[in-house]
Structure 1
């Protein structure tokens, strides 16, 4: 059985190679990896092939069956935001290959050691080609480590921190770690936002006030008074809490809030789906402005405001995993149909006050083959009247959930 070693080579400088990695490299008949990784090793006896795509790597291995063993070089550690994961899966589908992972020193380990600090309590985030609510991560974690890319560079991250009112946050940035021209810079976010950095960089943000930057603790049903209010209707906190629980939001979900109003539901969606994205669709300009304000209050960077009418406004958006429909402007069936066309397994929740809206939703869901759950919520809240606590009733709300039965299992 052909041996393939997937090796984490550390930071790029051969001095960060482990003994086990070096022994396997020297025993290999072929080396595959990025040009900078292989060239950093100096003269090698093995045949070298420059490639980083897992599919291309596997195809080259198949085309050279006579070469055994082969080492595939990966930067850092093979278990830390590495291309090794996809490559290993591809190799495991082949019956005549045996792959072995050889761990290396990760950028997190190396950088923290250079800073003279531990790393067991650090939240790690990769921004390589990914849009993330990194401001939210910083607000929720005392120490956050970022792998940057050519767009979301250290200075870009720091500029965003300044915009969010976090310019005094302490930041350390490291570029070209382990190489002769390695540079490590520490200072406030404002100070680092004025500098430029190599795309091959990492960032460590220290925020001792993590969790204290929001108007209230981030939980289901954030208090109504935490949001910027206007004349636009808003889903009340208790109803919002139940609605969000019915959506069953996961951290990486793509979510729609159709008829977003003030954006209270959309904001809570964004705070829960930190590694996903939320699209708030709203027609009224005053409501759109309110959503933008609430997005800023809660630093919900993964919330995108779309001004337009559904379903047309949804056409070019990424496929949603879940959707909340708070207002349809008479287009409920068209909206639900469009959502199902994009994702037949989508989970939807509709809130309705009127009996007619509830009935239309139930009929639409059933007609389109969805399993339906109907909940009616009666709420009353105490109000001080002449020194007495009087219970004041609110409008009953129907909360209708719909999803294909197969998707729920």
Structure 2
């Protein structure tokens, strides 16, 4: 099938690794586009060459313009559909205008060299995340809790050493990190490190490298695991709080219904226990821990490092004032208000994405009344429960129960998208039931 653009994967060893199909596609092209290092393998081509080094945006526009006449061959490294130019072109042009001739991807070559089965591997790209960002590697550690074998693309800013230092800072040292340089070329080099050794390594690696990470321990989230106990959180001193206790915390997280790619607000975060446990669910999303008390800042940050939740961002300021600057949430937990409960609830409710959830904990009768009156004034149905927890305590040679303060937990769901859409269709038969839900568009969250 003839297409306007054929995207050709070029191995680093050039001609020896090229297929006849790839060579013929270039020889028949009207225009060739790509990096000069790939162009050198096709000396027989004498037509126009669009040089990628002139600037990516300019180059991409030229490729798209030339594609209107057809006969364009784009040269790319490895498999162009593996974190490559193929995905970018598919966003700009219909799939019917593109065809692909891949070669072995960098991940394929890396796992082959290391003799590692890679059907369960995960793939991350740190490419293009500049150090001018708030944190170029924000969320990397959280993503890496979800697997045991990773292949990571790096760049000149987010080098293997920078990545190792980020893992080290969050205490995630249980990895063997292997730097695979110039895969497939005569200058190929493969070197394995511990996290600490790579973090201290002064070697300047070739920019064309892939980092393979193999887990050495199942101790996830800093060894605390998911749904950690209260003792795993450093708390503000001299007080023993502020922390939402474990049983209440788990019920609140259940009510929030957090998905991996979602954005979460924890307003009045205190020690950060809700934010941190939410981050263990939103591993491809982001969590904002909003706290205005400076006495809590150090312990909250320390807890994030201890639990390996680098997808939590501390927002130091008072709600509701700071909330307008945050990304729209899918879930909001309010654990403290400093007297501004109605305003916080109104702004949080307004900011929620379609189908989002708002959960509020209340200890005092005054707070319970505020939340109830706010819901009544806004004609919002609520789900409320009183949580009474008693824990065992020693008494001489016996065990007794010690009651904790009762907690009210309020839950609200944004029904801009109905829980059961109006276009739900059910067709019963003797053997099956077919359920069709209306699709809706969700906001994308930048992820690895």
Tell me, yes or no, whether TM beats 0.5.
yes
Matched-pair contact (CA < 8 Å) for 1:5–1:102: no
Matched-pair contact (CA < 8 Å) for 1:54–1:86: no
Q: Counterpart of 2:434?
A: none
Give, in whole Å, the separation in 2 of the partners of 1:157 and 1:47. Answer: 39
Coordinate RMSD, CA, aligned: 3.2
Q: CA deviation at 1:399?
A: 2.1
Matched-pair contact (CA < 8 Å) for 1:29–1:47: yes
Residue 276 of structure 2: which of 267, 270, 274 is its match? 267
Give, in whole Å, the separation in 2 of the partners of 1:377 and 1:21. Answer: 67
Q: CA deviation at 1:24?
A: 3.1
221-230 or 255-264, which deviates more: 221-230
Q: Counterpart of 2:229?
A: 223
Q: CA deviation at 1:369?
A: 7.2
Gaps of 5+ in 1: none
Residue 406 of structure 2: which of 385, 396, 409 is its match? 396
Q: Counterpart of 1:7?
A: 7
**TM-score, structure 2 normalization:** 0.78
Q: 2:123 aligned with 1:117, yes or no? A: no
Q: CA deviation at 1:296?
A: 1.9
Give, in whole Å, the separation in 1 of the partners of 2:381 and 2:219. Answer: 38
Q: CA deviation at 1:155?
A: 0.7
Give, in whole Å, the separation in 2 of the partners of 1:162 and 1:212. Answer: 14
Matched-pair contact (CA < 8 Å) for 1:6–1:84: no
43-52 or 194-203, which deviates more: 43-52
Q: CA deviation at 1:313?
A: 2.6
Matched-pair contact (CA < 8 Å) for 2:328–2:353: no
Give, in whole Å, the separation in 1 of the partners of 2:373 and 2:89. Answer: 47
Deviation track 1:2-33 (CA, whole Å, cap 9, x = no partner) reads 61445351554434445544443333333334
Distance 1:234 1:53, change over 3 A: same
Q: 2:59 aligned with 1:49, yes or no? A: no
Q: Counterpart of 2:310?
A: 301
The 3-state SS of whatever aligns with 2:108 is: helix
Residue 165 of structure 2: which of 145, 156, 159 is its match? 159
Give, in whole Å, the separation in 1 of the partners of 2:317 and 2:299. Answer: 15
Gaps of 5+ in 2: 130-135, 420-448
Q: CA deviation at 1:64?
A: 5.0
Distance 1:289 1:49, change over 3 A: same
Q: Counterpart of 1:108?
A: 107
Q: 2:364 aligned with 1:354, yes or no? A: yes
Q: How many residues align?
A: 403
Give, in whole Å, the separation in 2 of the partners of 1:304 and 1:189. Answer: 24
Distance 1:197 1:359, change over 3 A: farther
Q: Counterpart of 2:205?
A: 197
Distance 1:36 1:326, change over 3 A: farther
Residue 329 of structure 2: which of 320, 331, 334 is its match? 320
Deviation track 1:231-272 (CA, whole Å, cap 9, x = no partner) reads 222111111111112222122222221111111111112222
Q: Counterpart of 1:208?
A: 216
The 3-state SS of whatever aligns with 1:152 is: coil
Give, in whole Å, the separation in 2 of the partners of 1:342 and 1:290. Answer: 28
Matched-pair contact (CA < 8 Å) for 1:227–1:294: yes
Q: CA deviation at 1:213?
A: 6.5
Residue 86 of structure 2: which of 56, 75, 84 is its match? 84
The 3-state SS of whatever aligns with 2:50 is: strand
Q: Counterpart of 2:301?
A: 292
Q: CA deviation at 1:44?
A: 2.2
Q: Counterpart of 1:244?
A: 253
243-252 or 19-28, which deviates more: 19-28
371-380 or 280-289, which deviates more: 371-380
Give, in whole Å, the separation in 2 of the partners of 1:147 and 1:370. Answer: 47
Deviation track 1:186-243 (CA, whole Å, cap 9, x = no partner) reads 222233222233443221122221335634332xx32112222342221111111111
Q: Counterpart of 1:377?
A: 387
298-307 or 196-205, which deviates more: 196-205
